[in-house]
Every structure is written in C-alpha cells, then in structure tokens.
A = this chain, B = another copy of it.
Amino acid sequence: MNITIKELQEKQSLTSLSPQEIRELICELCHHFYNLGWASGTGGGISVRDENHIYMAPSAVQKERLKPADIFVLDLEGQILQESGRDLKLSQCAPLFMHAYKQRHAGAVLHSHSLNAVIATELFDKQFTISNLEMQKGLDGYGAFDTVNVPIIDNTAYECDLADSLGEAIRNNPKSYAVLVRNHGVYVWGKNWQQAKTHAECYDYLFAAAARRKQLGIAND
C-alpha cells in the first residue's frame, strides 16, 4: 500500500490507545454526547480507528449506556471482524463513516442528531454558511475571518441510502469536515478522535449561533 507523506503524517495522528481503551473511550464519548443532546433516542455515535481497525457502535441502542463489549470491530475496508457481544446490529452509519475514513483518511467520525444541526438544515438550503466567529479557528485550517460552509444533503428513508450523496458531498467540498443531512443531523470527522470531537463542538456552536442570530435579528456574517 503506497501512501503519501501527508497520509503518513495523518496516520501518526491516530490514537495510540489499546483496543480495550478505544472501546472504553467510545463509551465515554457516547455518554458525553448524550449529555450534550447529540445522541438522545438512541441516535448519534462515534467511530474511531487505529492503524488497522475501525471501532464502531451498534445500531439502535441507548448510546449513554453503551458498554465496551458492545463495540464492533471492522477492517479498513469496512468488513466486520468482530461482532458486538450482545445480539446487536452494526450502526447503519457504517457506510457513511467509511466515506470519511477512505476519502479523508479520518481517524474518527462522529454522527450527531443535535437539534442545532437539524435547525441549521432548515434555515439554509444547499449549504450552511457562517463567518466572522472566533470559534471557527477550532476547525483545522480555518481563521476567524474566513467563511465556513457545510454542504447540506437531503435525507433518505434508509440511512444506508445516504452513502452515495454523502460521498459525493465529501468529494465536492474538500475544505469541509462535516456534511449536514436535512431534518436529520450532521456527520463530522477529524484526523483523530480529539480533532473530530473539537470539530463537532465547533460546528454545533456555529449552528447554534446562526439560529440565535436569526432569532435576535442579527445579520449572519
């Protein structure tokens, strides 16, 4: 497998945690995201990869009560290597997460049902746009005076059917670390779990800021 220097550097940003530590981290983060309102009603979640494996939560379980043994292990092509300990199904987000792993060499991918994200998709049409907020600097490569755009794709009846349009949105928006899904939520990634979480917190803050500006009659730029 030939990799570029840039890819190698990105690889070096991956987690150095043991498989068990990654499982515990995913549970801890899911609990945290639940408290932030990103994972209520069994929605949302996070997937983390190391050099050779991708760790992913099961579908339709209470994310704040996830146990380390519940986590699936996949290879870098997305094939299941290890089932969840309980009789559970892999997250329907799996094909979507794979696009960020493959196209962006992400180290972690996160899915949130935050109402801030959903409202953002209802206030904007083809893409969410905001500018002039210091919090933008939490997005790798962005400055406080840049404009941040996040593509919005339409929702589909089955989450797996989102994969093509999400993959296309990722390809067409090389500067974005996120794709919004209308009336649904947002997918966010980063080169490792810390950056994915930081990106997700910044985007959520930007979505909330746009709605508060709208409510208060403040121009969104």
Residue A85 at the chain B interface, CB threshold 8 Å: no
**Known A197-B62, A215-B215; contact A41-B119, beta-carbon cutoff 8 A:** no
Query: Smallest distance from the beta carbon of A63 to chain B beta carbons, Å?
Result: 11
Residue A212 at the chain B interface, CB threshold 8 Å: yes
Residue A133 at the chain B interface, CB threshold 8 Å: yes
Query: Smallest distance from the beta carbon of A131 to chain B beta carbons, Å?
Result: 9
In A156-212, the 8 Å CB interface with B consists of: 156-157, 181, 183-185, 194, 197-199, 201-202, 204-205, 208-209, 211-212
A119 touches B218 (CB 8 A): yes
In A42-89, the 8 Å CB interface with B consists of: 42-43, 62
Q: How far is the CA of A145 from the CA of B155 in the complex (A)?
A: 9
- 21 examples of A-B residue contacts, CB within 8 angstroms: A40-B201, A40-B204, A41-B138, A41-B198, A41-B202, A42-B198, A43-B134, A62-B198, A115-B208, A115-B209, A118-B135, A118-B209, A119-B209, A119-B212, A122-B216, A133-B184, A134-B155, A134-B181, A134-B185, A211-B212, A215-B215
Chain A positions near chain B (C-beta within 8 angstroms): 40-43, 62, 113, 115, 118-119, 122-123, 132-135, 138, 143-145, 155-157, 181, 183-185, 194, 197-199, 201-202, 204-205, 208-209, 211-216, 218
